[in-house]
Amino acid sequence: AVLAIGLVACGGGSQSSTTETDPSLDAKVETKTMRAGIGLNDQHPQYKGLLKFKEIVEEKTEGAIKVETYHSGQLGDDRTMIEGLQLGSQEITIPSTAVIANFVPEFAVFDIPFLFPNEEVADAVLGGEVGEGLLDKLAAQNLVGLGYWENGFRDLTNSVRPVATAEDFRGLKIRTMENQLHLEAFRALGANPTPMAFTELFAAMQQKTVDGQENPYSTIYLQKYFEVQEYVSNTHHIYSPWTFLVSKPFFDGLTPEQQEIVTEAAYAAGAYQREMNREAGAEYLANLQEEGMIFTEITPEARQEMVDLVQPVIEKFTDQIGRETVEAVFDAVAEAQK
Ligand code: TK8
């Protein structure tokens, strides 16, 4: 009780005489705090994965590193949080690779529509040489990438009409992530896309500034988009990875042992998050229909038409992404399917 009062009295700040007399705190080195922020809410597997990361790190460092978790964009939108890592106002965020492409252009390779046929191929490419090699490029932006987590296959929702074919995209105002390739791909499909931070999306749909959006079923359900959207189609147009990002100045300031603990925890929590995402995944579409959304199946023929329509966009962006990266990823995708 005396210790607690002492801490309260000094506002948890610099050491008081009370803490110095506590033998268990005597040997303790300075506690480091990692502020971790994400855009999704606390119901999402991404947040549960983050809590797993916190648990592992705090246990293995015996409290020498503390992880503070923030959800629902409490620390800002994805772009702002990445900048926060660069500036040192925050230590962790887990954004979609599509947003990271604004910092490291090669990350746009994952924005190529219909790149991954299934999750197993995504795992092989992201967890393999190509995926890991891309993470190395983050250092030049003062960022450290500790593996990929899973946002998942993105599916279209809107409040205007059922979408079964490319023709049905015509004129729909679709919010996209802040990513050039996404914008042009949706234009090629005939939609009228507008880029927007995730944190503004719900209000935009509610106020009908946009007709629709695209995200995995998990997000559509857990963020309650069914309240403002009527139609959902399994477009599965992009597999969206997340990257676990840490502020490089902060990471460099950790001891080698702490760096290892943080790295292993990020990968372990990522595996846990992916598993949870996939386990729950099958139910979310049924949940959406229970909430009254109308589901439209995209036939293989209709999807092929979409694939063909976005081909010119892929060609246009190949040089901007980096031809070498694009080829390496396509090779890895082919290899994973052998
Ligand atoms: C959340 C984002 C989100 C992404 C988007 O921070 O912006 O649509 O899919 O999940 O990462």
Q: Is the dihedral of CA 57, 59, 65, 71 positive or negative?
A: positive
Residue of 74, 149, 151 with the most ligand 1 atoms within 8 Å of its CB, for mutation: 151
Helix (H, G, I), strand (E, B) or coil at 77: coil
pLDDT in tens, 151-178: 999 999 999 999 999 999 999 999 999 9
189-193, Cβ contacts within 8 angstroms, sequence gap of 24 or more: 189/306, 189/309, 189/310, 190/166, 190/309
The CATH architecture to which 31-336 belongs is 3-Layer(aba) Sandwich (3.40)
Pocket lining for ligand 1, CB < 6 angstroms: 38-40, 78, 95-96, 151, 177, 198, 215, 219, 240
In the chain, where the domains are located: 1-30, 31-336
**Cα 198 to ligand 1 centre (Å):** 6
Query: Mean pLDDT for the chain?
Result: 93
* DSSP run (H or E) holding 268: helix 256-290
Residue nearest to atom 1 of ligand 1 (CA): 39
CA of 121 to the centre of ligand 1 (A): 21
Ligand 1 atom nearest 95 alpha carbon: 11
Expressed in angstroms and rounded, the spacing between residue 199 Cα and the centre of ligand 1 is: 8
From atom 4 of ligand 1, which residue's Cα is the shortest distance away? Answer: 96
Whether the predicted pLDDT of 330 surpasses 90: yes
- What whole-number distance in Å separates Cα of residue 38 and Cα of residue 105? 22
Nearest CA to ligand 1 atom 9: 215
Average of pLDDT values for 198-214? 98
Whole-number Å distance, alpha carbon 217 to ligand 1 midpoint, is 12
If you search the block for the tokens 């074919």, which residue do you land on?
A: 165
Report how far ligand 1's centroid is from the alpha carbon of 310 (Å).
Answer: 22
pLDDT of residue 24: 52
Q: Has residue 5 got a pLDDT over 70?
A: no
Distance 39 CA to ligand 1 centre (A): 7
The values of phi and psi at residue 207, to 5°, are -85, 0
* Residue 213 Cα: closest atom of ligand 1: 8
ipTM: 0.97
Residue of the CA atom closest to atom 7 of ligand 1:
198
Check residue 273 and report its DSSP letter: H
User: Is residue 249 scored above 90 in pLDDT?
Assistant: yes
d(Cα 148, Cα 132) in Å, to the nearest integer? 9
The residue whose CB lies within 8 Å of the most ligand 1 atoms, and thus the one to mutate among 157, 220, 240, is 240
Rounded to the nearest whole angstrom, what is the distance from the C-alpha of residue 270 to the centroid of ligand 1?
Answer: 16
> Could you report the per-residue pLDDT of 87-124, keeping only the tens digit for each?
999 999 999 999 999 999 999 999 999 999 999 999 99
Rounded mean pLDDT, 59-86: 98
Residue 44, pLDDT > 50, answer: yes
Q: Do residues 237 and 188 make contact, with C-beta atoms less than 8 angstroms apart?
A: no
Place of tokens 């023929």: 301
Alpha carbon distance 221, 242 (integer Å)? 19
pLDDT in tens, 285-305: 999 999 999 999 999 999 999
Ligand 1 centroid to Cα of residue 334, in Å, is: 27
Atom in ligand 1 nearest the alpha carbon of residue 38: 6
Measured CA to CA, the distance from residue 180 to residue 135 in angstroms comes to 21
Counting from 1 in the atom list of ligand 1, the atom nearest the Cα of 240 is: 9
Structure tokens at 292: 């009254």
Place of tokens 């147009």: 237
How far apart are alpha carbons 338 and 334 in whole angstroms?
A: 7
The number of the ligand 1 atom at minimal distance from the alpha carbon of 73 is 6
Q: Are 86 and 139 in contact (CB under 8 A)?
A: no
Residue 16 pLDDT: 32
Q: Is the pLDDT of residue 3 over 50?
A: no
Q: 313 alpha carbon to ligand 1 midpoint, in Å?
A: 22
CB atoms within 10 A of CB 229: 23
Secondary structure string (H, E, C) spanning 103-142: CCHHHHHHHCCCCCCCHHHHHHHHHCHHHHHHHHHHHHHC
Q: State the number of CA atoms in the 13 A half-sphere of 187 facing the CB.
A: 11
Smallest CA-to-CA distance from 153 within 79, 227, 220, 53 is with 220
